[in-house]
Amino acid sequence: MRIALLWSLLVISSGLFLAMLAATRRHRVQATATAQTPAIAEYGWALVPWLLLVLFAAPAVRRILATG
């Protein structure tokens, strides 16, 4: 049961991450400002919160998987 919950949370969070990247891309396409930051910088800053989430959740997930 715990594994199914972890997989569903993984799918939901992956979908949210992809939606956030798509929204960032759509905003960059629609933006007409001349002094824009490079796209890689925006995608990098969009990735930072997700990396923090993974780093903080990893010990808890490892403990759940170890106890079965």
- Average pLDDT of span 19-46: 78
Entry pTM: 0.62
Residue 39 has pLDDT above 80, yes or no: no
Please report the DSSP string for 26-50 in residue order: HHHHH---SSPPPHHHHHHHHHHHH
**Calpha distance 33→40 (Å, rounded):** 17
Distance separating alpha carbons of residues 32 and 19, to the nearest angstrom? 22
Between 2-30 and 39-67, two packed helices, what is the crossing angle to 10 degrees?
180
Percent of the chain whose pLDDT exceeds 70: 90
Average pLDDT of the residues in 51-59: 89
